[in-house]
Amino acid sequence: MSAVLSEAEAMARALELASRGPRHGVNPQVGCVLLSPAGEVLAEGWHRGAGTPHAEVDALSALTDPALAAGATAVVTLEPCNHQGRTGPCSIALIEAGVARVVFAIADPGVRSAGGAERMRAAGVDVQQGLLAEAAEEFIRPWLTSVRLHRPFVTVKWASSLDGRAAAADGTSQWITGPEARADVHRRRAEADAIVVGTGTVLADDPALTARDPDADGALFPHQPAPVVIGTRAVPSGSRLREHPLPLRHYATHELADVLDALYADEVRSVFVEGGPTLASAFLAAGLADEVLVYLAPTLLGGPRTALTELGVGTIEAQRRLTITDLSRLGDDIRLVARPRPGAWAPTKE
């Protein structure tokens, strides 16, 4: 006999299923559980990436008998889509399958993809929104932020000593943190659509901007973030960036909002800023950082090479407050994840 779940338990399971899909890319992670009228699990599905069946269709295709969908309940982490993209509308697929009830956590904020709930209700499907909404919001926060703001979700990362230095006085910085922290950085790079640095970092460090798997002797992860350089100086022809698996995108400008607009138009939904103190501070000062990722090493360096430069804070009343969302130990180092407090640092759109 199949497991019997409440709708809340099924939503928790759907979120677990969603986590199996890729965090990178233009599509969100979505999971779906199909329940019989008695609450038995009929099938499960999740989205495996762009161009593959969406979670609802994946679950429908996993049914041992398509007729079982008639009268069933679909529990989905995100409102079923209502548009024809690389795949067809999930709202129509559920209607045509005979699903009687759809429970989803959060509404789809996409201009083209929203409207599935309305279409299903018009077809006589019982539709309910909001189950485990807070958990689902947090789970796909980067994608939701990107779609709502029409720009990529921005993570600003740096590594520093306890006294806030990103390098020694002579500019050397390899390595402030230990291998566990560096491995974590590479795993997070592999979850981003793009990795961003400034021309100053390119000229000083000649970075590769690849994501390497520490569990595979440093081999490249299957997914690589696209290398992005911001700044008016030229990238040398012999730069290691020229050997990256993906084409280099060089924006000869200092207008960060314009760069983010261009990246969003090119289906980039998340960027990982690793460009050194100048670029990190520029994103923060402009209110364009959605998340701060800091690796703190138990060492002291002193000197002028601070992790951040000018943020436009002239008085203590203007300090930029954040909320810490994660604090973990990685070897000898500390990983800290924080986000701007609601209403603070908000970027403006003309």
- What is the number of other CB atoms lying within 10 angstroms of the CB of residue 173? 19
- Which CATH superfamily, name and number, covers 7-139? Cytidine Deaminase, domain 2 (3.40.140.10)
The per-residue pLDDT for 316 is: 87
146-340, what's its fold?
Dihydrofolate Reductase, subunit A (3.40.430)
* pLDDT value, residue 344: 62
- CATH 3.40.430.10 occupies which residues in the chain? 146-340
At residue 346, the pLDDT reads 47
| Model pLDDT, residue 19 | 96
The pLDDT value given to residue 349: 42
Which residue numbers are catalytic? 56
Give the pLDDT confidence score for residue 173 in this predicted structure.
Answer: 82
Residues of the chain with CATH 3.40.140.10: 7-139
- Strand bridging mode 194-198 / 212-213: unpaired
Chunked in runs of 10, what are the mean pLDDT values of the chain (350 residues)? 86 97 94 97 94 94 96 97 79 96 95 88 97 96 95 97 92 89 95 95 92 91 96 94 95 96 96 92 94 96 92 86 96 96 56
